[in-house]
Structure 1
């Protein structure tokens, strides 16, 4: 079976991650482990999980089903909102490792800032310490707004290497990405294909896909790569897994990039998940 080679990007702590990763939400149990193991065999090396996905064990099982050396993989998990207090966060990171059967995570993120609860700085301090103890190689966040990131910098002196945010052609996060670029933070895109069943019928994107002889999904994921974001698409289909990673033998022209940029909407979020007010426990 053909596999694709994915280039790496370097985070501000010097650690590299692939320019495209694999999302694992809703991939659970034996079927999930099979799909994730297939993704690894198909060339994916960055895997994205979370404590709240309840599949860290599935990810660990998938890793054990392949022959890829552990050091070639970049495994991510995320801290849920109910465990933001320092002591709970430390225990939860340990539990995440036990669930997956791993000695360390390559990336561990705070899943949401939960600003009303207002314990995310405490949670961040737990990640900083867990990194010192060797439990995590690189520390980051997910769904943090610039105001939350500024507070982490002000109160701990340490900025995340990565911020994983909702990002797709209908919500392109231009201002957020600009802040990341100015502060050396990698932008990672969750739901990079929006809701794939809907977006593949978009006529503008279909037109661009026809021009390049590619699928709509490939056009969208290539757009992510060219705006400097790291997309993490999810698919259980081996064929689509290969398609979603085959992005590095073509380039979108500037006019097509601008056309895709213009698809963004002020209300483009998939659900009402504004990090300024949304709380996830």
Structure 2
């Protein structure tokens, strides 16, 4: 898995990673993923597994500097001091001196709170605790308020990007912000509740039945997204990573693209329109 994307701040990020949402005991999953070619782990304070991510990275045998690790601060901490404290706690939990990417987890809380949290992350970056800064669940208006405040733009917006909800991402391209998202690559109900599942509730669609899970992950790569399939099962983690070295034919890409229903196609928590 050597494909990477270059972020607007000049840093590179793997084009594919492991999501650890709903997996508080994720150390083994992280270890297995890294030992099988993954080089990105996406966590969050809300997930309550930052310590486990650090343990898994340590057990993997892969050097810390070769792993791209993300976490997020939740909107309940959206003050300058609250976000600063959360970031310092995240650093301590990980057992590392920095995060490669740190995000504001949602747009909830209002403009003043969002900007206060974002400024705290900028100062965290200046102090060396963060290498890159991004956002999650932001719409165009939320990204634009960062620009209007004269602040450094986010390099990543982690939002829902399932095959039924891909039509609202032009603002990310315009802002040179990479779309990253968590999605479950499993039809198993026990692991199919991650952010942006592969069209949970619509698996009887003949197009989806025709194409495999790997095709759906490969679709997202070819769309220019950065998928973060979530699983706690070693065999599935390995299988999910077998999406490089081949391409989906244009006719099949067209079939998947045609399923887009914009915001109506959203299947999970998706607070991108909050004030």
TM-score (ref. length: structure 2): 0.90
Residue 209 of structure 2 corresponds to 206
> Does 236-245 or 78-87 show the bigger shift?
236-245
| SS of structure 1 residue aligned to 2:157 | strand
Corresponding residue number in structure 1 for 2:161:
167
Q: Give 2:182's aligned residue.
A: 190
Match of 1:141 in 2: 135
Q: Residue 139 of structure 2 contacts residue 273 of structure 2 at CA under 8 Å; is this kept in 1? A: yes
Superposed displacement of residue 103, structure 1 = 0.6
Query: Deviations along 1:241-276, whole A, 9 cap, x unmatched?
Result: 122111112111222112101112242222353322
Instruction: Report how many residues are paired.
Output: 263
Deviation of 1:201 after TM superposition, in Å, equals 4.6
Q: Distance in 1 between matches of 2:63 and 2:137?
A: 31
SS of residue matched to 1:273:
coil
The within-5 A match list for 1:238-249 is: 238-249=234-245
Matched with 1:255 is 251
Q: Distance in 2 between matches of 1:72 and 1:58?
A: 18
**Matching residue of 1:267:** 264
Contact 1:187 / 1:229 at 8 angstroms: preserved in 2?
yes
* 1:81 partnered with 2:75: yes
- Pairwise CA RMSD of aligned residues? 1.8
Tell me whether 196-205 or 87-96 shows the greater mean CA deviation: 196-205
- The structure 2 residue matched to 1:33, chosen from 27, 38, 55, is 27
Structure 1 residue runs of 5 or longer lacking an equivalent are 210-215
Q: Which runs of at least 4 in structure 1 moved beyond 6 Å after TM superposition?
A: none
Structure 2 residue 62 is the aligned partner of structure 1 residue 59: no
Q: Select 1:95's aligned residue among 89, 92, 99.
A: 89
Shifted more, 187-196 versus 141-150: the winner is 187-196
Asked whether the 8 Å contact 2:156–2:180 carries over to 1, the reply is yes
Aligned residue in 1 for 2:113: 119
The one of 3, 7, 11 aligned to 1:11: 7
Q: Gaps (5+ residues) in structure 2?
A: 186-195
Aligned ranges 1:220-231 → 2 under 5 Å: 220-231=216-227
